[in-house]
Homo-oligomer: A and B are copies of this chain.
Amino acid sequence: MLIEKEKKFLEDYNPSDFAPFAVTVDIVVLGISKSAGSSYRHLDNQSLNVLLVTRPDMPYAGRSALPGGFVGESEGLDDAVRRILKKKTGLDDIYFEQLYTYGKPDRDPRMRVISCAYIALVDLEKTDVSYARWFDIETALDMELAFDHGDIISDALKRLKGKIIYTDIIFHIMPEQFTISELQEVYELILRKKLLPAAFRRTIADKIAETGEYTKAAGHRPSKLYRVKAGGNECL
């Protein structure tokens, strides 16, 4: 005979009364793209982009959505992320981190689905995205996306905005070589505000190293090219 206390515990842990859920991972893949400047004198314009796929099926058929998919029966969440990233970008070794888990009962009309959302940062130039398309982040946020993917993207940006101040994850989105101005512009795109060049240089000076190379044919003074210094601060 069970005492009252033990009964109470059993309520929580009885394996027979758990409901079956589907679990997916959805990934906010972010990258920086460049478009030609307005004249030979002007720098290229950078923009923050997010990778989206088009849903072929109901629900939200034809609607854009984050790349994602169901987690396999004996597959870890991280493994599912790696598998999907490989398929959508052609890359291994992409930096990613867990963002948040979305579990509102009605978020998928078909069934109960828990979505574990991730952020991934890629060097966009290296990606081969045959089954997906890059969208400017502003455009993407204005679009009608499938499920709650619009919320997920804006949560991802909030997270990123917070983290680039006290970690070095920004470098995962940069190409191997970059100028300080480019790096500053990426910060500005994410933080949505202008920074002072002098102050910016000072603060990141110890995180980067000169490569010895310079930009060419810029129509004005060339810029030193830098790379990340080893041993950055990734934090939690």
Contacts and interface: CB of A to CB of B under 8 A. Distances in A.
A98 interface: yes
Interface of A: 5-6, 8-13, 15, 17-23, 53-57, 68-77, 84, 87, 98, 100-101, 103-105, 110-112, 114, 116, 130-131, 155, 158-159, 162, 235-236
Contacts of A8: 87, 131
One complex includes copies of this chain to the number of 2
Contacts of A22: 15, 18-21
A162 B159 CA distance: 14
B71 A103 contact: yes
Contacts of A236: 155, 158-159, 162
Contacts of A11: 69
Nearest to A103: B77
A232 B93 CA distance: 39
A70 B103 contact: no
Contacts of A75: 105
Given A12-B70, A13-B56, A19-B70, 7 more contacts: A8-B87, A11-B69, A17-B70, A18-B22, A21-B114, A76-B103, A98-B100
A17 B73 CA distance: 10
Nearest to A236: B158
Given A20-B22, A21-B22, A103-B76, A12 B111 contact: no
B15 A103 contact: no
A8 B71 CA distance: 16
Contacts of A57: 9-10, 13
A90 to B, nearest CB: 13
A167 to B, nearest CB: 10
A20 B20 contact: yes
A21 B76 CA distance: 12
A54 B13 CA distance: 11
A28 to B, nearest CB: 14
